[in-house]
Amino acid sequence: MSFIDKAKNKAEELSGKAKEAVGDATDNQDLKAEGQADQASATTRQAGENVKDAASNVKDAFKG
């Protein structure tokens, strides 16, 4: 996984946390839910990228 992908995922996760916090503080359930959805999306993409990294590491181990 590239550094750029990791940074984008982290930025979306942090943005989601901020939206959730603002939604919670202002009792805006829609904003809170949107923030939670953003976090879930970033986490899912991060997990997919981790699987790709693991597969690449296994492939590299067999090349050696």
The pLDDT score that the predictor gives to residue 37 is 98
- Rounded to an integer, what is the distance from CA 43 to the centroid of its chain? 3
Q: Which residues contact 50 (CB under 8 A, 6 or more apart)?
A: 1
Q: Tell me which residues of the chain have a pLDDT lower than 50.
A: none
The pLDDT score that the predictor gives to residue 3 is 83
- 27: DSSP letter: T
